[in-house]
């Protein structure tokens, strides 16, 4: 890997945790991304905030750059399947996007049964759920086992509160999508996931599961938005060691935020406890390395970070030049 633990440790004190760009209008502050409108353009800034269990748990050096550049890679490699909102990347943390009205549904697609959150396939399966978002699951599945065919398990995307699993018939009944929109979006979800798995496997990775978001432009076209196949939105496992570890009942080697999820799951109850323990420095470095290694494996290129002791200032300067 191209980045040393010492360099990551040095930049823990210089992560991008929040933005207050003195340009345009701030539209939204999400768990990870801040959205602005500047001169009629939609500007999405990916911070270093690390979320899991519906909370922001830490700030990871270079994470925002990794996410934004990974998403850029995938937007370019899936644009033949569906149009997306990417227009320009003026800074490693920044994406200029086409405006779109967001569907309030996250399209989760899973190739394996795994997970540790309340919406995950494995947690629900352990609870006895066999009809999972309209997918009938057989008895006898083991954690981290591959599905015969990937399954789509949508979740709601509320402004506040927790995501909830939802079946396609309920999506239609609540008016979140029309039947034609659901058919189109679910078809594109499967096609994008298949493309992602194909590219990842060529580079020694298994794309385990992921989520997509879609929006509708002013002229009514449905496009892919948000992020694609990043270590935040997806699980990636090491392909070479997967079978051996699965046979032994061991957890796969991962390159995503499961590194963080597993630590918190073993040290506390992330859903029940009000205040959670602070992520130790070694864990923060481990997460940063997992994200960087995922980027390098996916793209086949070394990760060269944009080094700035004042990342918000460098973003503002880039946006001023872009204007």
Write the DSSP string, 204-247. TEEEEEEEEEEEE-TTS-EEEES-SS-TTTEEEEEHHHHHHHHH
Q: Rounded distance, CA 243 to CA 141, Å?
A: 15
- Give percent above pLDDT 70 in the chain: 98
pLDDT at 150 (0 to 100): 98
pLDDT(85) > 90: yes
Give residue 259's pLDDT band: very low, low, confident or very high (50, 70, 90): confident
pLDDT(30) > 80: yes
Lookup result for tokens 């004042």: 310
- Domains of the chain are 102-247 (3.30.470.20)
Residue-wise pLDDT tens digits, 266-298:
888 888 767 888 999 999 999 999 999 999 999
Residue 295 is classified by DSSP as H
pLDDT(92) > 70: yes
As a whole number, mean pLDDT of residues 221-250 equals 96
Q: Rounded distance, CA 44 to CA 94, Å?
A: 6
Q: Rounded distance, CA 248 to CA 229, Å?
A: 28
As a whole number, mean pLDDT of residues 128-152 equals 97
Whether the Cβ atoms of residue 64 and residue 11 lie closer than 8 Å to each other: no
Q: Which of 38-42, 120-124, 138-142 has the lowest mean pLDDT?
A: 38-42
Give residue 241's pLDDT band: very low, low, confident or very high (50, 70, 90): very high
pLDDT(161) > 70: no
As a whole number, mean pLDDT of residues 5-22 equals 96
Sign, CA dihedral 314-308-73-184, equals: negative
Judging by beta carbons within 10 Å of its beta carbon (0-12, 13-18, 19+), is residue 178 exposed, middle or buried? exposed
pLDDT(129) > 70: yes
Residue 128 is classified by DSSP as T
What is the average pLDDT value for the chain, to the nearest integer? 94
> Radius of gyration of the chain from Cα atoms?
19
As a whole number, mean pLDDT of residues 233-254 equals 96
Q: Rounded distance, CA 123 to CA 102, Å?
A: 28
pLDDT at 118 (0 to 100): 87
pLDDT at 158 (0 to 100): 74
pLDDT(102) > 80: yes
């Amino acid at each position: 890997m191209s980045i040393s633990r010492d360099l990551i440790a040095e930049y823990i004190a210089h992560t991008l945790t929040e933005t207050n760009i003195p340009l345009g209008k701030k539209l939204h502050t999400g768990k990870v991304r801040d959205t602005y409108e500047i001169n009629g353009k939609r500007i999405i800034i990916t911070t270093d905030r690390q979320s899991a269990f519906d909370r922001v748990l830490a700030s990871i050096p270079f994470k925002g750059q990794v996410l934004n550049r990974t998403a850029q890679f995938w937007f370019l490699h899936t644009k033949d399947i569906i149009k997306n909102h990417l227009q320009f990347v003026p800074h490693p943390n920044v994406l200029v996007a086409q405006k779109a009205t967001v569907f309030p549904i996250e399209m989760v697609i899973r190739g394996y049964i795994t997970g540790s959150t309340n919406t995950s396939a494995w947690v629900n399966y352990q609870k006895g759920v066999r009809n999972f978002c309209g997918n009938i699951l057989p008895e006898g599945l083991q954690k981290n086992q591959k599905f015969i065919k990937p399954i789509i398990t949508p979740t709601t995307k509320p402004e506040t509160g927790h995501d909830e699993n939802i079946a396609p018939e309920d999506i239609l009944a609540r008016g979140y999508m029309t039947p034609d929109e659901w058919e189109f979006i679910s078809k594109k979800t499967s096609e994008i996931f298949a493309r992602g798995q194909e590219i990842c496997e060529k580079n020694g990775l298994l794309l385990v599961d992921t989520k997509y978001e879609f929006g509708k432009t002013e002229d009514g076209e449905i496009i892919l938005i948000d992020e694609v196949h990043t270590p935040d939105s997806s699980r990636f496992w090491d392909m070479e060691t997967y079978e051996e570890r699965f046979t032994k009942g061991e957890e796969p080697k991962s390159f995503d935020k499961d590194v963080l999820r597993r630590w918190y799951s073993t040290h506390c109850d992330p859903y029940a406890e009000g205040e959670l323990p602070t992520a130790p420095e070694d864990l923060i470095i481990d997460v940063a390395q997992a994200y960087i290694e995922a980027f390098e494996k996916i793209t086949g290129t070394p990760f060269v970070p944009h080094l700035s002791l004042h990342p918000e200032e460098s973003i503002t300067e880039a946006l001023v030049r872009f204007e």
